[in-house]
Amino acid sequence: MRVGLVGAGGVAQRHARVLTGFEDVHLLGVTDVAPGAARALADTYGGRVFPGVAELLAAGPDAVYVCVPPFAHGPAEEAVIAAGVPMFVEKPVAVDLDTAERIAALVQRAGLRTGVGHHWRYLHVVQEARRLLADRPVRMVNGAWLDKVPPVTWWARRDRSGGPVVEQAAHVLDLIRLLVGEVAEVTAYGDGAPPPVDGADIDSVTAATLRFASGAVGTLAAACVLTWKHRAGLEILADGLALSLAEDGLTVRDADGERHLPADPDAARVAVDGAFVDAVRGVGDDVRVPYAEALRTQRLALAVAESARTGRPVALPTGPAARLTAAVADVGMTTDA
């Protein structure tokens, strides 16, 4: 299986390392607007350097990974979809909603195999949390991503990254959707004070309240004011059950006492690529976050960001009609296609 990469930065290097560790998978090549980055990745993991996405696609990849920063999504995906090539996209799938809705509609029309890098869903403790919650409705969830500003130039600019909730806390929001259900309404506040980084215009901290369609309530806290990653995860309360879930493990407390189940984040990062590759090869069917599912997480993250920006509550679509909305008309589909 020959994989092409669009983008050659930090996460692309991780995928290149994981993918080339699989049997019968190799890099066809990579393209990046910074040719030096593409060269460095190809020198380490193999494959050719292509001047652009068109040339990469012309070489006939079996799958393409789109690993660009949030603001750069859109054109690469459109070209990959037009070529009918299975596509893995890093989260967040875009900086805005229009791009994500448009790409989702194109994916659906093409019937394309997709995957998105929400690798937390491959933590075995997430399955354990789902099992524990299967017969106990969640009453409350408290999610948090309390961290530093990551060392990439585009991160602290709202129009480049979407801000900390969209860019980072999206992993937590994705798990919140999985474990608690769809959010009907959010109200959020940002502090309006950017972190001390050149050109920053994002909020340093954001606090949101979430009202779920099920009646559950929750909160999300995001911060980028530290110099270390302090905490990323969620607390879930159901009747007689408290779960504390992070990338490195799950702590369960119930009437029988407390137990901790460790987890391996690296294993989840390998599993997300393994599941996509197997699905493309037709030997597996365990892609847990195809593009349409990531779109729903993107809508939630952007609703939190919008509420923090405007100071007003934002309602979200929660029924089946929420699947694909505005962009469907743009690409000439009916909503039940």
Ligand X SMILES: NC(=O)c1ccc[n+]([C@@H]2O[C@H](COP(=O)([O-])OP(=O)(O)OC[C@H]3O[C@@H](n4cnc5c(N)ncnc54)[C@H](O)[C@@H]3O)[C@@H](O)[C@H]2O)c1
Q: Does 147 bind ligand X (CB under 6 A)?
A: no
Considering the complex, state which of residue 11 and residue 97 has its C-beta at the smaller distance from ligand X: 11
Q: Does 93 bind ligand X (CB under 6 A)?
A: no
Name which of 319, 139, 143 is nearest 216 in CA terms: 139
Which 286-315 residues touch ligand X, going by CB under 6 A? none
Q: Which stretch binds ligand X (CB under 6 A): 42-50, 89-97, 106-114, 327-335?
A: 89-97
Minimum distance, C-beta of residue 216 to ligand X, in the bound complex (Å):
26
23 burial via Cβ count (<10 Å: 0-12, 13-18, 19+): exposed
Minimum distance, C-beta of residue 56 to ligand X, in the bound complex (Å):
10
184 burial via Cβ count (<10 Å: 0-12, 13-18, 19+): middle
Minimum distance, C-beta of residue 74 to ligand X, in the bound complex (Å):
9
Which 154-213 residues touch ligand X, going by CB under 6 A? 167
Minimum distance, C-beta of residue 51 to ligand X, in the bound complex (Å):
11
Q: Does 119 bind ligand X (CB under 6 A)?
A: yes
Q: Does 96 bind ligand X (CB under 6 A)?
A: no
Considering the complex, state which of residue 120 and residue 212 has its C-beta at the smaller distance from ligand X: 120
Q: How are beta strands 241-246 and 231-238 bridged, if at all?
A: antiparallel
User: Phi and psi dihedrals of 106, rounded to 5?
Assistant: -65, -40
Question: Cis omega (within 30 of 0) on the bond before 92?
Answer: yes
CA distance 251 to 163: 29
Q: Which stretch binds ligand X (CB under 6 A): 4-12, 107-115, 295-303, 317-325?
A: 4-12
Minimum distance, C-beta of residue 244 to ligand X, in the bound complex (Å):
21
Minimum distance, C-beta of residue 76 to ligand X, in the bound complex (Å):
6
What are 226's two structure tokens?
């530290």
Q: Does 123 bind ligand X (CB under 6 A)?
A: no
Considering the complex, state which of residue 18 and residue 279 has its C-beta at the smaller distance from ligand X: 18
Compute the radius of gyration of the chain from its Cα atoms: 20
Tell me the CA end-to-end span of the chain in Å, nearest whole number. 31
Minimum distance, C-beta of residue 108 to ligand X, in the bound complex (Å):
22
Minimum distance, C-beta of residue 11 to ligand X, in the bound complex (Å):
4
Cβ partners under 8 Å of residue 128, min gap 6: 250, 252, 261
Considering the complex, state which of residue 154 and residue 212 has its C-beta at the smaller distance from ligand X: 154
Considering the complex, state which of residue 94 and residue 238 has its C-beta at the smaller distance from ligand X: 94
Task: Compute how many other C-beta atoms are within 10 angstroms of the C-beta atom of residue 153.
Answer: 11
Of the candidate residues 3, 4, 7, 85, the single one contacting ligand X (CB under 6 A): 7
| Bridge partners for 217 per DSSP | 140, 211
Name which of 6, 66, 54, 14 is nearest 33 in CA terms: 6
Residues at the contact surface with ligand X, assessed by CB under 6 A = 6-12, 31-34, 37, 67-70, 72, 76, 90-92, 117, 119, 152, 167
